[in-house]
Amino acid sequence: MTADPAGFLPVIRPMRPADLESVYAVESSAYDYPWTLNIFRDCLRMGYECWVQLATDRIVGHFVLAMGPGEAHVLNLAVHPEWHNRGLGRALLQRALERGERLGAESVFLEVRPSNTPAVHLYHSEGFRRVGRRRDYYPTETGREDAMVLRHDLREVAPAGRR
């Protein structure tokens, strides 16, 4: 996957079964411990909100959102490293928040590695606040890393530009 330095047409659309190999390629390039292809397949089959980010004609990012009574949970959000720093992660996150709100969520939750500074900064800039910790949640080369649990209250005034 080569990032086109010129302009591109970003599009976010629902994930399709035919997208799964490309989604898995993005996931594998973005994370040391990626979800498996079967996890994405199961998310589609179970009716989770699964969306992809395209840059012109190729998938460069995705998110998976689970809905529950009054809340949503961002289970996965990734952008291919060659496409970082172009606002695509923010666009995906904002779409996830919009989908959660449209489907009746009052709050959106997610977990993030504290060591993932760019993601932590993105989530905080979009109005997420730390509400907890999950001990030993993420695998690492030397053991486990805790997760920060973040919450976004959709009933509060949205950050500029989201609506």
79 annotated as a binding-site residue: yes
Q: Is residue 2 part of a domain?
A: no
Q: Which domain holds residue 20?
A: 10-153
Does the annotation list 78 as a binding residue? Answer: yes
Per-residue confidence (pLDDT) for residue 6, from 0 to 100 = 52
Is 27 annotated in the active site? no
Q: Which residue has the higher pLDDT, 135 or 155?
A: 135
Residue in 123, 137, 138, 156 annotated catalytic = 123
pLDDT tens by residue, 41-99:
999 999 999 999 999 889 999 999 999 999 999 999 999 999 999 999 999 999 999 99
On whether residue 160 sits in a domain, the answer given is no
- Flag whether 23 is in a domain: yes
CATH number at residue 99: 3.40.630.30
List C-alpha distances in Å: 93 to 9, 15, 72, 77, 135. Answer: 18, 15, 12, 8, 24
For residue 123, indicate whether it is catalytic: yes
pLDDT in tens, 94-130: 999 999 999 999 999 999 999 999 999 999 999 999 9
In a domain, 47, yes or no: yes
Q: What is the tally of structural domains in the chain? A: 1
Q: d(Cα 147, Cα 152) in Å, to the nearest integer? A: 16
Tell me whether residue 132 is in a domain.
Answer: yes
Exactly one of 111, 126, 145, 156 is catalytic; name it.
111
